[in-house]
Amino acid sequence: MTELDFTILAIIGRDGPLSAYDVRKVFAQSLTPTWSSSTGSVYPSMGRLEAAGLITASTPKGARSRKALSITAAGRAAIQLWLSTITPEIASATPDPIRTRMFFLTLVGPRQRSGLITSAIESTKAAIQEAERLRLARPLSKGLDLRLLASEGVLFELRARLDWLRWLQKKVSASSKVPHAD
């Protein structure tokens, strides 16, 4: 099963019973754009979960009713195993399109290089502002608010990227040894 499959299973286990549309709404509210999963990936995942016996789909009465997805006992056991399995592989660095672009800065001249880093810094600042806005727009719940804590994780990640980009900017501007494509 994929990380998406387990995430969908966990959403249904935490919030269910839910319709497929309700599951997609949870993804749409995420601060992480890659979790805004498309219909083309969410629905096949739900089909795999149902075929594996991890969720069931019941059709409520009424022609326009959506199927209600519920987790099974096997699904709960699968979530427990998934949650408790944190390997060095999944704890490693995740893909970052900005970090990838910065890896290829030697393909452009010094002026463009500086502009690209500045653009990455400004875009990251904008992402931080948007994440803070979305976090503050959500009503706080009493007790341990895991959604708020996850939002804080997004902010920590973005701030770390911003710190790294500022460090990179200083290193690149101070270095006359960096080859360039002028």
Query: 29-59 pLDDT, tens per residue?
Result: 777 766 656 777 888 999 999 999 999 998 8
Q: What is the pLDDT of residue 76?
A: 97
How do residues 148-157 score in pLDDT, each as one tens digit? 777 788 899 9
pLDDT at 94 over 90: no
Higher pLDDT, 151 or 96: 96
CA angle 91, 97, 100 (to 5 degrees): 90
Residue that has been written with the tokens 């990179």 in this structure: 168
> Domain boundaries in the chain?
3-91, 97-174
Q: Classify residue 160 as left (phi > 0), alpha (psi -120 to 50) or beta.
A: alpha
May I ask the CATH architecture of the domain 3-91?
Orthogonal Bundle (1.10)
Using only the alpha carbons of the chain, give its radius of gyration: 21
Q: Classify residue 59 as left (phi > 0), alpha (psi -120 to 50) or beta.
A: beta
